Amino acid sequence: MADNELLTEEQEQQVIAAIQEAENKTSGEIRVHIEDECSNDALERSAQVFHDLGMDQTQRQNGVLIYIASEDHKAAVYAGKGIHTEVEEGFWSDVLDILLQHFKEDAYEEGIEKAVHKVGNKLIELFPYKKGDIDELSNEISYHDTENS
């Protein structure tokens, strides 16, 4: 399954809408990145993609990347240091568990959307929207636009 075939166009728009809904209430940023293969550890790869997408350049370091390698059945959640240091132990594992549980049932869009909602709710709690906050990053899903190392 090619990375851009994991979701239909309609499902992709639903995920983007979930990201936009969450980001309207927080200064945090959420991105989803999908690619076919991940030749190394998914968390290491997600850290590279996080950097390649400029997510480490946000003002409050409160970006979260949901990374998926569809062919290799790997996924990871990577967060900027501003949010990572604020969440409770096991939070990122819980987000990943939501994703993987739905993926086992071939419910890709639902899993991604529920993971986005869980992350979004945490960002809203820790980094609520304040007047003047701007959307620093695209809400579009990225597909292997970064160099796979």
Residue 127 identity = F
Residue-level pLDDT at 146: 45
Q: What is the pLDDT of residue 136?
A: 85
pLDDT value, residue 62: 95
Q: What is the structure's pLDDT at 38? A: 94
3 assigned to some structural domain: no
What residues are paired with 65 via a beta bridge?
31, 78
Please report whether residue 77 resides in a domain: yes
Residue 146 lies in a domain: no
CA angle 121, 54, 17 (to 5 degrees): 40
- Residue 23 placed within a domain: yes
Query: Does residue 50 sit within a domain?
Result: yes
Confirm whether 4 is domain-assigned: no
In the prediction, which pLDDT does 31 show?
Answer: 97
DSSP bridge partners of 75: 68
Residue 54 belongs to what domain range? 9-132
In a domain, 34, yes or no: yes
pLDDT under 70: residue ranges of the chain: 1-4, 145-149
Number of domains making up the chain: 1
What torsion do the CA atoms of 138, 83, 69, 75 make, to the nearest 10 degrees?
-150
